[in-house]
């Protein structure tokens, strides 16, 4: 199984890093939008909005962004997968493990929650435009982590899955808009 994951990671990484070098500044900006600081800020704003508008379900939903990042950090410690051997990974501010991608899981829950709220609260066509843009951003953040050399593709997929599971819990269990 490990051999198949390595083959998959190698093949996907090869294609992603073939993207033009001129995209490097763009992917640096995109990856910043997926940083824990950015996604935790989104979560805090949603939680604060819910709290001050007497919607505790919405407040808990915003806090779930933070919880998701915490769960991802625990998984990183348990799995203890080293990051790719790249210059970008070697110069990261914090030396953390690779699996799952925190940027990807955090952006999936944070921007996914924003997409859910936009879908239900904005009029058409603005809701559709917001959802498409936010989903595109989530995808780009994951790709940026591979392009920059911070993660293997399987780390990014695991981040998307963790974030998606958390988002499903928020939408179907917490139900922030009821």
pLDDT digits (tens, 9 = 90+) for 67-101: 999 999 999 999 999 999 888 888 888 888 889 99
State the angle between helix axes of 126-148 and 153-169 in degrees (0 to 180), rounded to the nearest 10: 150
The Cα–Cα gap between 61 and 7 comes to 37
* Predicted TM-score of the model (pTM): 0.94
Using one digit for the tens of pLDDT, what is the confidence trace for 102-115? 999 999 999 999 99
pLDDT of residue 172: 95
């Amino acid at each position: 199984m490990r051999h198949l994951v390595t083959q998959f990671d190698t093949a996907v990484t090869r294609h992603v890093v073939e993207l033009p070098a001129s995209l490097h500044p763009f992917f640096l900006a995109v990856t910043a939008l997926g940083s824990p600081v950015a996604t935790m800020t989104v979560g805090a704003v949603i939680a604060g909005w819910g709290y001050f508008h007497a919607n505790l379900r919405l407040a808990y939903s915003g806090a779930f962004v933070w919880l998701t990042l915490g769960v991802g950090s625990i998984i990183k410690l348990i799995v203890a997968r080293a990051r790719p051997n790249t210059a970008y990974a070697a110069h990261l501010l914090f030396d953390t493990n690779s699996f799952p991608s925190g940027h990807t899981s955090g952006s999936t829950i944070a921007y996914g929650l924003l997409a859910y709220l936009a879908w239900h609260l904005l009029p058409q066509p603005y809701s559709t435009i917001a959802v498409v843009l936010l989903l595109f951003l989530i995808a780009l953040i994951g790709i940026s982590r591979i392009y920059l050399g911070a993660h293997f593709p399987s780390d990014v997929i695991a981040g998307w899955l963790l974030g998606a599971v958390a988002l499903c819990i928020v939408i179907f269990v917490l139900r922030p808009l009821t």
